[in-house]
């Protein structure tokens, strides 16, 4: 191919084979046809994901197709017609399927194994904590306008967002080089992304298989080792791997777990491993979704979905700092980038009665759904609807570093929309926690949650550790009220002793 002659399909070829978040779905001639770069494909499995229409009328399938087209248009434009022949040649056999899309019925997909997943574009990212702080907490926004999840991502209506991350591209490249795997080789992935239509296959490159699908840097179980040892050629390595599956070697395996060894670490540790590239999908599980509380109301912010996220980190045995895959992925995404996501049901659903008083206890990023609650009430109030009072108990360490969305909440409080009762445990020598602030509001809690016939609701979201202390603060005797809250816990129907609702949302962020 002449270096200065680029066919019309070349930009897509370079995108799909290079940096795009896409793989190829195509029609092939026989269900037993050999796919170049892979092997003999098995019969396509049925049930690749049920596509249902959402309330606005657009189906998930139609939304997926539309978002992929939007992605190609957006990402393709960034190539600025500078695609060269060598860029196209790198994608190897994929070029053929892209050059003859009609004959092969070629289409594009992002994580076709995720039936409800759609590509969404990042439109905002803001760091909320100081750059030199020991925690990295940030705000990220996605454009969901026109997608199948546009009306399914209201954080005030009991929904959360499932995000599918990708592995670090540099670490994947280093792994492939060490394992002597060709990143541009084409492989079928029907085992993990079965197609609904007979005669269809799903192809991707080795690089994309390890970047977007396989949880290469996840923590393996002993079942993985049972599958792994047959691939070792060296007998000593074969025995060493097999022994780690035995009860007498449990302590050694647990030590490896404590040091947070990954699938990649095991592959690299035993150099005699000879694993056909298509077999990695049988050894390593796919990257699963991470569920995050949505911190915005789509009624208040149409077409937008916002998250409040903290980058998860921990110390492994030996002192190495490890980071959560998805929170790290979101830490480094910026406006203009894309990812796969879908809505997920959550228990954090505001009462249907908009006049009901609502108490909210948010610990750290547990603040997320309650920001959506306040936005929803602000929207309803702007429409002339009578709304009940909101009381927010927010807990953190330092107000200067961890008062997320301070300007917003101070504005809402001045408007009389919400009462903020913040607890900062490290601001002074006296440690102040959320339960202390709850006890200061005993009159309101008794009136709206504890007394007979009350209809108020209390929500808790955040770390599970202070849950008992928070409930004890709610259910304790209330001085000056003349009578205690009856009972030591919620009723069997999950409501407070007087009738108000208690709900623990856990920490999704």
> Which uninterrupted H or E stretch holds 504?
strand 501-504
Q: How far apart are CA 468 and CA 495, in angstroms?
A: 16
> Which uninterrupted H or E stretch holds 125?
strand 118-127
Burial class (CB in 10 A: 0-12, 13-18, 19+), 9: middle
pLDDT of residue 464: 75
Which stretches does DSSP call E strand in 172-268? 186-188, 200-205
pLDDT of residue 355: 95
Phi-psi region of 393 (alpha: psi -120 to 50; beta: other; left: phi over 0): beta
Burial class (CB in 10 A: 0-12, 13-18, 19+), 213: buried
Buried b (16+ CB within 10 A) or exposed e, 341-379: bbbbebebbbbeeeebbbbbbbbbbbbbbbbbbbbbbbb
> What is the chain's percent helix, strand, coil content, to nearest 5?
35, 20, 45
Q: How far apart are CA 27 and CA 219, in angstroms?
A: 36
Are the beta carbons of 3 and 84 closer than 8 angstroms?
Answer: yes
Sign of CA dihedral 358, 361, 364, 365: negative
Burial class (CB in 10 A: 0-12, 13-18, 19+), 381: middle
Which tokens is 248 given? 């007498």
Which stretches does DSSP call E strand in 223-337? 290-293, 304-310, 313-315, 321-323
Which tokens is 183 given? 């990143």
Q: For every one of its 509 residues, what pLDDT tens digit does the chain have, with 9 covering 90 and above? A: 444 444 454 444 444 444 344 555 554 433 333 333 444 333 333 333 343 444 455 899 899 888 888 887 787 666 544 444 454 455 555 666 665 566 667 777 888 889 899 999 999 999 999 999 999 999 999 999 999 999 999 999 989 999 999 999 999 999 999 999 999 888 888 777 776 667 777 788 899 999 999 999 999 999 999 999 999 999 999 999 999 999 999 999 999 999 999 999 999 999 999 999 999 999 999 999 999 999 999 999 999 999 999 999 999 999 999 999 999 999 999 999 999 999 999 888 999 999 999 999 999 999 999 999 999 999 999 999 999 999 999 999 999 999 999 999 999 999 999 999 999 999 999 999 999 999 999 899 988 987 788 889 999 998 877 788 888 888 773 444 433 333 333 333 444 444 455 556 543 32
Integer-rounded Cα Rg, in Å, for the chain is 26
Contacts of 4 (CB under 8 A, 6+ apart): none
Q: Strand 118-127 and strand 137-143: pairing?
A: antiparallel
Q: Strand 200-205 and strand 23-27: pairing?
A: antiparallel
Which tokens is 404 given? 């997320």
Q: How far apart are CA 124 and CA 501, in angstroms?
A: 35
Which tokens is 400 given? 């200067």
Q: How far apart are CA 235 and CA 65, in angstroms?
A: 49
**The Cα angle at residue 61 between residues 60 and 65, in degrees rounded to 5:** 115
């Amino acid at each position: 191919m002449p270096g200065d002659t680029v066919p019309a399909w070349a930009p897509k070829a370079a995108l799909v084979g290079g940096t795009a978040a896409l793989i190829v779905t195509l029609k092939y001639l026989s269900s037993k046809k050999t796919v170049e770069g892979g092997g003999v494909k098995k019969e396509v499995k049925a049930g690749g994901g049920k596509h249902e229409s959402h309330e606005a009328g657009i189906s998930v399938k139609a939304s997926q197709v539309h978002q992929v087209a939007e992605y190609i248009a957006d990402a393709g434009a960034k190539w600025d017609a500078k695609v060269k022949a060598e860029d196209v040649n790198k994608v190897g056999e994929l070029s053929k399927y892209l050059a003859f899309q009609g004959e092969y019925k070629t289409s594009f997909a992002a994580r076709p194994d995720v039936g409800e997943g759609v590509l969404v574009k990042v439109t905002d990212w803001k760091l909320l904590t100081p750059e030199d702080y020991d925690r990295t907490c940030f705000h990220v926004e996605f454009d969901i306008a026109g997608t199948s999840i546009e009306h399914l991502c209201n954080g005030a209506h009991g929904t959360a967002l499932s995000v599918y991350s990708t592995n670090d591209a540099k670490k994947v490249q280093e792994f492939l080089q060490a394992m002597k795997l060709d990143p541009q080789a084409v492989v079928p992935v029907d085992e993990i992304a079965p197609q609904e239509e007979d005669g269809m296959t799903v192809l991707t490159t080795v690089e994309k298989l390890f970047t977007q699908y396989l949880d290469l840097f996840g923590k393996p179980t002993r079942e993985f080792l049972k599958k792994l040892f047959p691939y070792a050629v060296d007998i000593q390595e074969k025995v060493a791997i097999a022994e780690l599956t035995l009860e007498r070697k449990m302590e050694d395996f647990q030590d490896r777990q404590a040091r947070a060894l990954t699938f990649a670490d095991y592959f690299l540790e035993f150099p005699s491993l000879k694993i056909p590239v298509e077999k990695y999908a049988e050894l390593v599980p796919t990257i699963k979704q991470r569920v995050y509380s949505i911190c915005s109301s789509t009624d208040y912010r149409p077409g937008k979905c916002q998250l409040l996220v903290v980058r998860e980190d921990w110390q492994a045995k030996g002192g190495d700092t490890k980071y959560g895959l998805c929170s790290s992925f979101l830490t480094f995404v910026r406006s203009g980038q894309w990812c796969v996501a879908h809505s997920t049901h959550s228990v954090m659903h505001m009462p249907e009665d908009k006049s009901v008083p609502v108490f909210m206890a948010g610990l750290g990023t547990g603040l997320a759904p309650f920001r959506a609650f306040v936005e929803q009430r602000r929207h309803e109030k702007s429409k002339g609807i009578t709304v009940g009072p909101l009381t927010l108990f927010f807990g953190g360490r330092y107000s200067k570093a961890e008062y997320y969305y301070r300007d917003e909440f101070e504005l809402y409080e001045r408007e009389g929309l919400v009462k903020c009762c913040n607890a900062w445990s490290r601001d002074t020598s006296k440690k102040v926690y959320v339960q202390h602030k709850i006890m200061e509001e005993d009159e309101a809690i008794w009136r709206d949650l504890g007394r007979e016939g009350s209809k108020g609701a209390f929500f808790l979201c955040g770390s599970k550790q202070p849950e008992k202390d928070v409930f004890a603060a709610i259910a304790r005797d209330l001085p000056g009220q003349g009578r205690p809250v009856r009972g030591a816990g919620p009723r069997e129907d999950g409501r407070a002793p007087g009738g108000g609702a208690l709900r623990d949302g856990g920490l999704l962020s």
